[in-house]
Structure 1
């Protein structure tokens, strides 16, 4: 859950803003429309028809977003509970700390190198510690660019195993492995 925090925070933000806009937007339009119709000397029967349609749209949209929000909150709470029970929440926090320690500040003077370094930073942020077949695995996607794979591998050499041994003292870690997939190359460090 912590790993996908940007996704669900954006979802909650969009739902909340949508509800606010639908609720208060109708009230604002209900105050502005009569003034516009009076100044334009338009038929007030049209105003009533438009006002009723806007009210129905606002009310139905607000209720729909409220239902989606009320369904989303229990899903998020159960997801959090499952992550807390399985220990993935703590592993995601550790993953975040580890990836932040690998990210480098890149000066913008050297364009070619800085673009590859920035792309490497982007891929490193996607790194995650997961439990697979009862063993912990650190996996970092690298894309298919050989220069980016080399940059990430150089950053992880030595440091990753040392960091993992320090934060997971009861585990032994195998050396860094590079696995080439169809579209993405992955760096793996597995628990022995």
Structure 2
């Protein structure tokens, strides 16, 4: 859950903003329309017809978003409980700390190819995650298929990652860094022995 926080927080933000816009936007639009119709001396029946349509759209949209919001909250609570009980929440939190320590600052005024590769390496490193597969812990970091980026990430991880994992998971022994090439993406793995 912690790993996907940008997605579900973004979804909740969009739903909240949508509900606010539909709820208070209707009032603003009716206020503006009443002023326009009053000063333009247009037909009041047309105003009532437009006002009813806007009210129905606003009310139906607000209720739909409210239902979606109410359905998402229990899913998020259940997801949180499952993550906490399985230990994945803690692993995601530690993964975030590890990936932040592996990212490097790249000055924006430097527009060389090396700078672009370093930025891309930072982007891939942020996707790294500690997971539990078949009862064993595993750190996996995607690298794309660019050999220079793979080498940058491998150099950053070499030695440091095993030390960090041994320090944060003292009861586990970790194998050396492995590189697995796939069809479209290359992965760096550090597995628990």
Class of the TM-score when normalised by the shorter of the 2 chains: over 0.9
Q: Deviations over 1:22-80 (max 9, x none)?
A: 00000111211111012222211111000000000000000000000000000000000
> For residues 174-185 of structure 1, what are the structure 2 equivalents within 5 Å?
174-185=175-186
Cα RMSD over matched residues? Answer: 0.7
Runs of 4+ with deviation above 2 angstroms? 107-110
Residue in 1 that maps onto 2:117: 116
Q: Can you give the 5+ residue segments of structure 2 that lack an aligned partner in the other structure? A: none
Residue in 2 that maps onto 1:74: 74
1: CA distance, partners of 2:158 / 2:126: 17
Name the TM-score, length of structure 2 as normaliser. 0.98
Residue in 2 that maps onto 1:164: 165
Task: Report whether the alignment pairs 1:141 with 2:142.
Answer: yes
Q: Deviations over 1:115-174 (max 9, x none)?
A: 000000000000000000000000000000000000000000000000000000000000
Name the TM-score, length of structure 1 as normaliser. 0.98
Q: Can you give the 5+ residue segments of structure 1 that lack an aligned partner in the other structure? A: none
2: CA distance, partners of 1:109 / 1:54: 51
Residue in 2 that maps onto 1:97: 97
